[in-house]
Amino acid sequence: MEEWVGFKWHEYITRQAVGEFPEHAVHLKDEARTLGVLFRALGGDPALSLVTAEPRHFRTRRRFLQKLAGTHKKFELAWRDEQSLRLPERLALFPSKPVNRDLYLWLAALASLGELTDSDWLTGNQAMVQTLLIKWPGLEPVYQRLVRHTLQWRPDPTTLPPAEGRRERAIRQALIDPGSVETLPRAESDPWPVVIWLYPTTTPGKANGRTTGDDEVTSTPGGLAKKRKRRRAERVDAFDKDQGLMLFRLESLFSWSEFIPVDRAGDDTEEEDADAVADDMDMISVSEDRREASSAIKFDLDLPSEENDDLHLGPGIHLPEWDWRSQSYRERFCCLQPMLSKDSVPTRLPNHLSRPAMRLRRQFSALKPLRQWERRQTEGEELDLDACMEREVQHRRGIGVIDQKLFRRCKQNQRDLACLILADISMSTDTFINNTQRVIEIARDGLQLLSEALQASRDPFAIFAFSSRRRDHVRFHHIKSFDEPYNDISRGRIQALEPGYYTRMGAAIRQATRLLKGRHEHQKILLLLTDGKPNDLDLYEGRYGVEDTRMAVQEANKAGLTPFCVTIDDDASEYLPYIFGSNQFVVIKDPAQLPLQLPKLYMNLTR
């Protein structure tokens, strides 16, 4: 009973202190699509992700009820950086749902103009508001409505100490008449947050009290990236592993602090409760404790020894990589290693694929080349008897001009196209679908059935697979080249594919582009099969990998190729439109259907 009363009392006090209107709340996940479209339509960077913002700490002057409830120490505010646009997860500040929604729209529109720094927060926001209203005057009523509600939400200057009151009046003047205030009067506490302005970027992982960032966020126009908030961080010398849980008694209050040893450079395993623990922590402590040598060398042991690895075909191929930060290529930055499985053995088509393969061969055999005779040619393999008879008749009738096209020749009526299939075999393909079948097994079946179909249509095709471990080891597995026949040897190489390592997609696409550019066919298709976004152990995570892959796709388009991506990633619609374009990818909702869907997709793509 005591606990129930305490809980209800806490709930009541918090609700009274927060001063929000939960019945008029608007959530970012419901507005993400509209906000993404608006942001990019107004000129915002299309590569930015739409992500929920983490709370920022403020030393504001709080009322007694707010101190009692422990609220108003942290606020979710809008800001953007080179990686993402971050907006509050939920807005319920105003007693009107349309006004709360307008606040989301206004913040997205304001962020489309750029980001802010600490030095220009006041003047920068005023200038951005002026620019936005001049550029898009239709937003003027929205802004005025938001200003009215914001002024009602903010503290009354007359109730504040003199210095803070002067500062609050200056902020109100800047909201009402943007551009009229150049500096803010000094005061001891922080000013009450301005919810309709942007805030400066937080610097990831530096000094104490700063925030540490997560680069793995992606979204499309209208897509909302998964909730990955930045955390406040402090740097400490080392942890004592024996003190994973600390509790102390201060009268009857307990404080809990969790410690999870995470060695990012040497350990990539996932802690089961890491996300839940991080959500409960206000500050994450980072240490450079490297006492465990076994963890430090773990990844070096991931690569097989020379005698146990696949065969290396040559010394390796050096390829460039696109650095979006400097907007330039890093020449010879990646080393791609062509490889050939030495454990593969010639294998017949698996029994469970025999029936669908037979059906596909019948369907695709209708596309194979047909011999057709072209009549009345000036030269050819045989005389055209009909043309010769007509010439003799013309000669006997004394016609002056006689047709000299007396031959016929045989022409192959074939489709002028070539296809290179590039399969992602990173470690993520080792996961299970519905606890019955691994992704790599589904991918193998898909490659087998598509190969059977292409063999029946006699379209030239090649198959390669790729994975990576940092930029100096991009593995490019040879399965079938354009010049090789598709037979039991190729089938054995497909069956020998095993998952491992990471997904440096840009380098693999560049090598596939080089191979396809050497073909003489008019239509050249680069078909990519994957189950996730580009990533690797080094800097190839987040926007860096996405931008490099996007540039590699653009290079393929400029070379006259048709790149097309087939994926089973549920989140692919958050990043593939930016990489491949809206019409150059497809998401297979049911991964188990991939083997049967691949030939159909190929037929529609080449029709």
**Structural domains of the chain sorted by starting position, each given as residue range(s) with its CATH number in brackets:** 2-209 (no CATH), 236-300 (no CATH), 328-365+415-606 (3.40.50.410), 371-412 (no CATH)
Closest CA to 286 of 209, 233, 231: 233
Task: State residue 301's pLDDT score.
Answer: 41
The tens digit of pLDDT for each residue in 57-68 reads 888 777 776 676
Contacts of the segment 303-311: beta carbons below 8 A, 24+ positions apart: 303/469, 303/473, 309/339, 310/339, 310/340, 310/341, 310/342, 310/343, 310/475, 310/477, 311/339, 311/340, 311/341, 311/342
pLDDT over 90, % of the chain: 40
d(CA 294, CA 232): 29
**Phi, psi torsion values for 409, nearest 5 degrees:** -140, 155
The tens digit of pLDDT for each residue in 570-582 reads 888 888 989 998 8
Question: Is there a contact between 463 and 494 (Cβ–Cβ < 8 Å)?
Answer: yes
54 HSE (CA, 13 A, CB side): 23
Closest CA to 139 of 97, 103, 172: 103
- pLDDT tier, 171 (very low <50, low <70, confident <90, very high otherwise): very high
pLDDT over 70, % of the chain: 77
Q: From residue 304, how far is each of 308, 430, 500 by CA, in Å?
A: 6, 18, 11
* φ/ψ bin of 20: left (φ > 0), alpha (ψ from -120 to 50), beta (otherwise): beta
Mean pLDDT of 321-331: 92
The DSSP string of 162-224 is HHHHHHHHHHHHHHHSTTS-------SSPPPP-TTSB-PPPPBT-STT-EE--------TT--
Q: Which of 87-91, 257-261, 405-409, 502-506 has the lowest mean pLDDT?
A: 257-261
| Residue that is written with structure tokens 């040559």 in the block | 314
Radius of gyration of the CA atoms of the chain, in A: 32
pTM, to two decimals: 0.70
Q: Is the pLDDT of residue 252 over 70?
A: no
Task: State residue 215's pLDDT score.
Answer: 38
- pLDDT tier, 126 (very low <50, low <70, confident <90, very high otherwise): very high
Q: Is the pLDDT of residue 288 over 90?
A: no
Q: Which residue has the higher pLDDT, 391 or 496?
A: 496
Task: State residue 170's pLDDT score.
Answer: 93
d(CA 34, CA 354): 47
DSSP character at residue 351: G
- Rounded to the nearest 10°, the torsion over CA 232, 235, 236, 238 is 100
Q: Is the pLDDT of residue 370 over 70?
A: no
- pLDDT tier, 458 (very low <50, low <70, confident <90, very high otherwise): confident
d(CA 420, CA 423): 10
Q: How many residues does the chain have?
A: 607
